[in-house]
């Protein structure tokens, strides 16, 4: 059953990754006709993604928290036995990065949805980029750790 | 109602500060013992009445517990009008302070053993 929830967690994370990457790249785009693929990818209305990013982040975080105890018992225990301290460090960092994103979520939503889009442009850009980087980091680290047995 | 009084700027700032203090000084509100499937307000390892192997203790939920309660209460008490005066640039340092706390908490895994 834990494999099922792990898969759902991964699928939600991929949905989040798509939404936050669209938005994250859109805040760095200068207004110009979108011709190349990357320009078309980021030529989106960033504000329209804020609610989806918040909902997907909370769901992904909640499911990650639900499966985390099983990870501590099954995977972290094995990593400790094998002396893979740096790998454990990566995962420990993942949990703090996830909390950083969760902590900034209300203020991220606030700057997208209640502050006029012409104000605090730099803050909005920073928070969105940070959430994008945090999501990428956590997805990559989570994926590597999920497969660490096959990688070593 | 909540939207008119709740200050997201205060919530995020207080959450970050309290979470950083929690992880730096290891002040969990509660602990979770996945082997036992049990939550505990205190450290069961210090309780001689608890028999058998406890397995690992998870403080992560407890660290978030204090941060969440403190942030929720403060964000509800401080009027939104005042909270909105917190400049947006303050949030530039939020990830830095949390990561500093995270380094202090987790450095044992990257520093040489006994170092």
Query: Would you say B24 and B3 are in contact if contact means Cβ atoms under 8 Å apart?
Result: no
Asked if ipTM goes beyond 0.95, one says: no
pLDDT tens per residue across span A17-48: 999 999 999 888 777 666 777 777 777 777 78
Contacts of B86 in chain A (CB under 8 A): none
* Integer angstrom CA distances of residue A75 from A79, A95, A146, B8: 6, 15, 8, 36
Structural domain boundaries of chain A?
2-151
Query: Which residues of chain A are at the B interface, by a Cβ-Cβ cutoff of 8 Å?
Result: 65, 68-70, 72-73, 76-77, 85-86, 88-89, 92-93, 95-96, 99-100, 103-107, 109-111, 120, 122-123, 126-127, 130
Token digits of residue B17: 């500060």
CA A126 to chain B, closest CA, distance in angstroms equals 7
- Average pLDDT, consecutive stretches of 10 residues, N- to C-terminus, chain B (115 residues): 77 97 96 94 88 89 97 94 93 94 92 69
Pick from A70, A95, A107: which is nearest to B8 by CB? A107
Residues of B in contact with A104 (CB under 8 A): 12, 16, 91, 94-95
Q: pTM for the full model? A: 0.91
* Matching residue, tokens 């790998």: A87
């Amino acid at each position: 059953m834990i494999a099922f929830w792990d898969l759902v967690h991964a699928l939600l994370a991929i949905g989040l990754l798509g939404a936050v990457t669209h938005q994250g790249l859109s805040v760095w785009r200068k207004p110009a006709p979108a011709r190349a693929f990357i320009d078309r990818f980021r030529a989106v209305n960033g504000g329209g993604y804020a609610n989806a990013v918040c909902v997907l982040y909370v769901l992904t975080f909640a499911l990650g928290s639900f499966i985390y105890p099983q990870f501590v018992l099954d995977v972290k225990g094995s990593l400790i036995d094998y002396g893979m301290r740096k790998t454990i460090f990566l995962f420990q960092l993942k949990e703090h990065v996830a909390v950083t994103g969760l902590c900034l979520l209300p203020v991220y939503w606030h700057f997208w949805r209640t502050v006029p889009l012409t104000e605090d442009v730099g803050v909005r850009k920073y928070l969105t980029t940070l959430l994008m980087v945090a999501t990428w980091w956590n997805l990559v680290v989570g994926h590597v750790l999920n497969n660490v047995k096959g990688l070593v | 109602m909540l939207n008119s009084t709740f200050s997201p700027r205060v919530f995020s700032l207080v959450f970050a500060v309290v979470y950083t203090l929690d992880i730096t000084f290891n002040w969990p509100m509660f602990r979770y013992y996945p082997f036992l499937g049990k939550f505990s307000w205190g450290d069961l390892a210090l309780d001689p009445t608890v028999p058998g192997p406890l397995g690992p203790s998870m403080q992560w939920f407890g660290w978030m517990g204090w941060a969440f309660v403190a942030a929720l209460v403060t964000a509800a008490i401080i009027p939104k009008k005042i909270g909105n005066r917190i400049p947006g640039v303050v949030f530039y340092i939020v990830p830095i302070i949390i990561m500093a706390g995270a380094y202090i908490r987790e450095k044992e895994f990257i520093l040489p053993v006994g170092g």
